[in-house]
Structure 1
Amino acid sequence: MLLNLLEKTVDGYFAVIPRDKPPMETVKSARLIAHRGAHNHAEGIIENTLAAFNSAKELKCWGIEFDVRTTADKVLVVNHDATLKRLWKQDRAITDLSFNELRALVPDVPTLNEVVAAYGESMHLLIELKAPFQDEDLLVEALNGLSAGENYHLLTLDSAIFYSLSQFPKDALLLVASHCNVHQFCKTSLNEDYGGVLGHYFLINNKIVNRFKAAEKIVGVGMIDSKYSLYRELNRGVNWLFTNRADELNYYLRHF
């Protein structure tokens, strides 16, 4: 709760500080990533659903970020939370449900296969693996036909998950740093030769940006939800931009 309040305060601060417009070439390099899709709960477009991903595609977002969990009968599905309570008012854990039970309870929770089939060749997939994750073979099967690094990257907040993977190239793996491990995750990403690092824009300082750019690695930040935050990141050379306001950010990028 306190951390969320702090993040909102920081976001509000950066949203009102005027920034110079970045050069047009820099703007063209922006890779806008709709966090859990281009969701809008007030309009009935729920996060991590095909409706949210369709909206992101219509907005011409470069990528979509979403979360993967496993049902009791080993089907990979897309949902952020371990349970269905927050979004769907069903106090059931996904790991306790078969896929058929889940589909009967909440038809709008898509499978990873459905998302890959619908968007794998039109938007970059940023696939967050939620702990515990022990289904690499299923993931390989679902992503068969796509190219790691070109069509998708795997994300996690739990570095142990990446250590457990053996069938994906390291440059397709991106650690997501938090306030308590940003320096450790940056070190791990470079030492393990992962694809790069992601994190809150306030945590990913210029020293980190320059270090990863020098190593020719990816640096991505979120949540970029205002015009001046967008300008700030582009001006410091960060172009992997995660947002909860894809429609607004898309407008700023297309009306320079």
Structure 2
Amino acid sequence: MVPLETLRGDYRGMATDWTVPQELDHYSAEDQAVWRLLAERQTLLAHRHACSEFIHGLRTLGISKTIPDFDEVNRRLEPLTGWRVVGVPGLIPDQAFYDHLAHRRFPVTVWIRRRSEIDYLVEPDLFHDFFGHVPLLGNPVFADYMQLYGRRGIEAGPQIDLLARLYWYTVEFGLIRTPQGLKIYGAGILSSAREVRHAIEDEGVERLPFEASTVMHRPYEIDKLQNTYFVLDDFRQLFEAANTRIA
């Protein structure tokens, strides 16, 4: 875990499980404008390049041009799959993160980036966490995988780095083959205009068939466009991957 004093969020008022209230009235007009700019751009790209399950989640949960109210979203999400969104100050320790996932709670950062950071941000913010991740939590298959991943994270111990690579190459930067062609489901791609185009259109990028043991032994870099993506044939492959023996 990065020292709290170097992180952007306000960790002073958090609960013991690292959660904080969202406090919708604290978002400024500029915060709303940044969300609207990002949401309009990424929604257009999602309708062209995202998998149908993600697009369905955008519509079902009512994700639109204003910063979402977590309570309102939970009233729609929980009856679908039993998941809830919880606010967090920013990055939280691995064990706290896995515990939330294991109990069908998805941690979402409550602060949003500045306009000068529209195209690149070091730490995950509200837009990345919510727009990128939450729509797929309305899909029963993907929702079950996320809970299983959380349980496996709690159990992983010293081999947690291998499991982290599985998260990176699926939940954050995953692609899936569909009858409509290659589509995106990874949040790190869908929350970035540059990464969407890079993942789908650029030449010289590896797009490899998904195989869990290969994924878990492939290092990744967090501060540049990806050179390698792994392509699923079906979301149900994720269950076998999460249950793969870590070694």
Q: TM over 0.5: same fold? A: no
Q: TM-score, normalised by structure 2?
A: 0.27
Q: If you compute each CA radius of gyration, which structure gives the higher value, 1 or 2?
A: 1
More strand per residue: 1
Q: TM-score, normalised by structure 1?
A: 0.26
More helix per residue: 2
